[in-house]
Amino acid sequence: MRYLSTRGHADPKRFCEILLEGLAPDGGLYMPSSYPQVDAATLEKWRGLSYAELAFEILSLYIDDVTAADLKALCDKTYTASVFATPEIVPLRALDGNLYLEGLSNGPTLAFKDIAMQLLGNLFEYELARRGEELNVLGATSGDTGSAAEYAMRGKKGIRVFMTSPHGRMSPFQQAQMFSLQDENIHNIAIEGVFDDCQDIVKAVSNDLAFKRKYKIGTVNSINWARLLAQVVYYFAGYLRSTSSAQQRVAFAVPSGNFGNICAGHVARMMGLPISHLVVATNENDLLDEFFRTGVYRVRSGSDTHETSSPSMDISKASNFERFAFDLLGRDPVRTKALFHDALLAAGGFDLHADASFAAASVRFGFRSGRSTHADRLATIRDTWERLDTMIDPHTADGVKVAREHMTAGVPMIVLETALPVKFSAIFEEALGRTPDRPARFDGIENLPKRMQVMPADVDAVKRYIVERVGL
């Protein structure tokens, strides 16, 4: 398998070459040169596999520069009942009618990002050891990504994590999750500022190429292909658990922000997994819903980006959307670049409604969409609790609300649960008049000693901190 850039950079690469990279040199995103096909007989054969075995089968189709034995060992080490609190890893639960919830949030930080990030941690450690190199992951987080990265990289050889977060602005639970880590290779930097200040610092440090090279600065952001690939696996798992024959079709509904999660569903469908529809659910930040309804893609300004009660979906642009658009445009890198580089720079968006490709988004690629508001989240959380005895988090509620608008008779609809309620407890007083359930393993986490450094929003101060810790 070779990987190419959505913007046409003419130097196809292998998996381990792009593993530690972010964007392609031309600013595009890496994509597999083709989608390996999985036929009905193979699907039937996979029905009895454990999650780790299934992951190995699917990853093997895309990774040919890690030996089979090593890849198997990496999957076995990643997808265990002790890390994901259940032997099923992604348990499927029936709600009502033909509606299901696939539980992706049983990992260490209680959000679906653990599923890919835990694999990434093990892949990074493996590849860095093979190269005899080190990596210093620098990131900015408002909650989910940073903690998932830290729990994936803690204690890993050759890796340090420097994670900036806005001081005092994450939920007490999220702060406790991150700051209670005592591992020597994890460095929490609480910046006196807002999330944008953190992101600006990370950009400034990464744009200093000499510093970046000398101190081996890397990232773990959502455009990393390995993260997307790891997410493909749970679409297959959800399909196999909700069907009894490979003649059946299912639909998925996905609470979406940066389009990473649902893009993995697109990849699974392109591989031949019988998915009838992929339903994009957004919150009030509805640029993806707007695109699938109208053909207009419009990046939002800061003042036009809403702070909502499903904060992990509060985005102004969808960084993985270019991957799907590349397929939608017939894999034409010139057009992809014209839209995602030229048109975004010049006009902040583009309009495909009159283009023949736009109809394909729904007809050929199976996409549907919808949006959900704070009032919808409250109503959905209440309804799911009162009628179905199930507590869902606000992001998952966006998924359930939109899923119900796109049901087809006889086709199971699987909503991907992207976090557990305890992570986003603020809305539950308002929705249910009580605090959410908390898994016993997190009892008292707020009382643990905290390890973090408070710092002004100053690039040089952060650089000095890194230099001292890396010690070069």
Which residues have a catalytic role annotated? 113
Binding map of ligand PLP across residues 267-306, x = CB under 6 A, - = no contact: ----------------------------------------
Residue 286 Cβ vs ligand PLP, minimum distance, rounded to whole Å: 13
- Figure out which of the listed residues 106, 109, 165, 256 binds ligand PLP, where binding follows CB under 6 A: 256
Cβ(380)–Cβ(372) under 8 Å? yes
Give the gyration radius of the chain's Cα atoms. Answer: 21
Residues 6+ apart with CB under 8 A from 345: none
Residue 114 Cβ vs ligand PLP, minimum distance, rounded to whole Å: 10
Q: Which helix (H) or strand (E) holds 43?
A: helix 40-46
364/360 Cα distance (integer angstroms):
5
Instruction: Print burial letters for 288-316: b (CB count within 10 Å at least 16), e (below 16).
Output: bbbbbeebebbbbeeeebeebbbbbbbbe
Q: Which of 121/143 has CB closer to ligand PLP? A: 143
DSSP secondary-structure letter at 180? T
The three-state secondary structure class of 275 is: strand
* Residue 52 is a binding residue for ligand PLP (CB under 6 A): no
Q: Which of 300/395 has CB closer to ligand PLP? A: 395
Angle at 388 between CA 386 and CA 392, to 5 degrees: 85
- Figure out which of the listed residues 139, 255, 333, 366 binds ligand PLP, where binding follows CB under 6 A: 255
Residue 352 Cβ vs ligand PLP, minimum distance, rounded to whole Å: 20
Q: Which of 260/366 has CB closer to ligand PLP? A: 260
Residue 230 Cβ vs ligand PLP, minimum distance, rounded to whole Å: 12
Is the CA virtual torsion 139, 140, 144, 146 positive or negative? positive
Q: Which of 197/417 has CB closer to ligand PLP? A: 417
* Residue 259 is a binding residue for ligand PLP (CB under 6 A): yes
- Figure out which of the listed residues 78, 219, 261, 390 binds ligand PLP, where binding follows CB under 6 A: 261
Query: Which residues of 226-324 form beta strands (DSSP E)?
Result: 250-255, 275-282, 296-298
Q: Which is nearest to 244 in space by CA: 270, 207, 218, 274?
A: 274
DSSP secondary-structure letter at 379? H
- Figure out which of the listed residues 99, 329, 419, 427 binds ligand PLP, where binding follows CB under 6 A: 419
Q: Which of 136/222 has CB closer to ligand PLP? A: 222
* Residue 313 is a binding residue for ligand PLP (CB under 6 A): yes
* Residue 311 is a binding residue for ligand PLP (CB under 6 A): no
- Figure out which of the listed residues 32, 193, 260, 366 binds ligand PLP, where binding follows CB under 6 A: 260
Stretch that binds ligand PLP, among 256-264, 295-303, 359-367, 456-464 (CB under 6 A): 256-264
Stretch that binds ligand PLP, among 5-13, 23-31, 249-257, 359-367 (CB under 6 A): 249-257
103/390 Cα distance (integer angstroms):
12
Cβ(21)–Cβ(223) under 8 Å? no
Return the amino acid letter for 148. Answer: A
Q: Which of 276/312 has CB closer to ligand PLP? A: 312
224/68 Cα distance (integer angstroms):
22
Residue 427 Cβ vs ligand PLP, minimum distance, rounded to whole Å: 13
* Residue 380 is a binding residue for ligand PLP (CB under 6 A): no
Q: How many residues does the chain have?
A: 472
Q: Which of residues 197-226 bind ligand PLP (CB under 6 A)?
A: 222
Residue 216 Cβ vs ligand PLP, minimum distance, rounded to whole Å: 26
Q: Which is nearest to 159 in space by CA: 180, 189, 139?
A: 139
Q: How distant is the alpha carbon of residue 206 from its chain centre?
A: 22
Q: How many residues of this chain interact with ligand PLP, rule: CB under 6 A?
A: 16
Q: Which of 202/466 has CB closer to ligand PLP? A: 202
- Figure out which of the listed residues 146, 257, 265, 412 binds ligand PLP, where binding follows CB under 6 A: 257
* Residue 164 is a binding residue for ligand PLP (CB under 6 A): no
291/110 Cα distance (integer angstroms):
30
Return the amino acid letter for 458. Answer: D
Binding map of ligand PLP across residues 317-336, x = CB under 6 A, - = no contact: --------------------
Q: Which of 221/336 has CB closer to ligand PLP? A: 221
154/365 Cα distance (integer angstroms):
39
Residues at the site binding ligand PLP, with contacts judged by CB under 6 A: 111, 113, 144, 222, 255-261, 312-313, 395, 418-419
